[in-house]
Amino acid sequence: MRKKIKSDISSSIKNRKINVFFLFLFLAFIILIFTKLSKEYTNTVAFNINKSNVPQESVILNDSSAILNITLKTHGFKWLTYYFNKPKVTIDFAKDVIKIDSTFVWSKSKAYLLASTQFGKQVELLNISPDTLVFRYDTNLVKKVPVVFNSNIKFSLGFDIAEQYEITPDSIEVIGPHVLASQVNNIETELVEMDNVKSDINKIVKLNLPENSNDLKFSNKTINLTANVEKFTEGTLKVPVSIKNGPNNKTLKYFPKTINVVYYTSLKNFKAIGVKDFKVECDFNKTTSNQSFLLPELTKSPETVKHAKIGQQQIEFIIIE
């Protein structure tokens, strides 16, 4: 029992010695770090440009210079902040630049004001490179362009849309430099693919905005797609054939007098559609001298019909003097 107590006491003393050793080691490390950070160092750092007070009618193009390599002398604590936060300097376009042709030009002569206004008293500004920054700009253009719906939608058998797809908005505004915005003539949607559709469509669709369009802004990045989906059916009607531009002072006889018109419409509109809603005509002026048949054309069909076709491609005729 006594041996165990002595062993525990001895182990506790050793652990305390180890803990005190690591505590002093840690304190020594902290003192060393503070000593190092308190010293002054000279280094060159790439600073990004923060552009302020750019005229509203102008837009700075992305290909403009946007980096200043600045050599500074300051203590380690300041360098530590530059390490953790990407450094920036502000260029005021109301007073720090001059306009030359289609550019704003910033020169090194303005640079040394940065030391007192942006770096503080503890920082010594030694050098700046390059001597000049050139910012290309263009005037803003607002252009309205149509949205082009891009789709591959397949319906279940016996279903279709009653009217056209509705996209909202059907056009958007493109805002940006004239040289870029003027090249945009329309904006396509992402491809909408759907199979076996038999219910109404209502979904948000993304727009395919131009690549590398950082200089452009768009009033919308999505559109809303809607469509009423209904049951559809086929119908057939015998429609009279009429002759247009028949021969003068001659009798034209033709056969058949009626032909079948097959049409596709929604179930709710089916009963409202009749023969009077269609018109089949043959234009005699479109025949040649040796031709013995007329070509029937469907020249009238109701708006409620999705599509229609005639069931006969030729009308036989003879001319009686």
Q: Per-residue pLDDT tens for 109-149?
A: 665 555 555 666 666 667 777 888 888 887 888 899 999 99
What's the pLDDT score for residue 191?
95
Strand 132-148 to 187-188 pairing: parallel
What's the pLDDT score for residue 93?
83
Q: Mean pLDDT, to the nearest integer, of 97-109? A: 81
262 - beta bridge partners?
236, 309
Q: Distance between CA atoms of 228 and 269, rounded to whole angstroms?
A: 14
* CB 135, CB 126: distance < 8 Å: no
Tell me the pTM: 0.56
Identify the three-state secondary structure at position 78: helix
Asked whether the predicted pLDDT for residue 167 surpasses 90, the reply is: yes
pLDDT (tens digit per residue) in 195-208: 999 999 999 999 99
Asked whether the predicted pLDDT for residue 240 surpasses 80, the reply is: yes
Look at 130 and 266; give whichever has higher pLDDT. Answer: 266
Among residues of the chain, what percentage have pLDDT more than 70? 76
For residue 160, what pLDDT band results from cuts at 50, 70 and 90? very high
In this structure, what token pair is assigned to residue 47?
């600073």
Asked whether the predicted pLDDT for residue 61 surpasses 70, the reply is: yes
What's the pLDDT score for residue 310?
94
What's the pLDDT score for residue 203?
95
The overall average pLDDT reported for the chain is: 81
Asked whether the predicted pLDDT for residue 283 surpasses 60, the reply is: yes
For residue 83, what pLDDT band results from cuts at 50, 70 and 90? low
What's the pLDDT score for residue 62?
66
What's the pLDDT score for residue 14?
52
Sheet with 222-227: list strands edge to edge. Answer: 166-168, 222-227, 201-206
Neighbouring C-beta atoms of residue 39, cutoff 10 Å: 8
Q: Mean pLDDT, to the nearest integer, of 137-163? A: 91
Domains and CATH numbers, the chain: 40-130 (no CATH), 139-227 (2.170.120.40), 233-320 (2.170.120.30)
Asked whether the predicted pLDDT for residue 227 surpasses 90, the reply is: yes
Look at 161 and 30; give whichever has higher pLDDT. Answer: 161
Identify the three-state secondary structure at position 113: helix
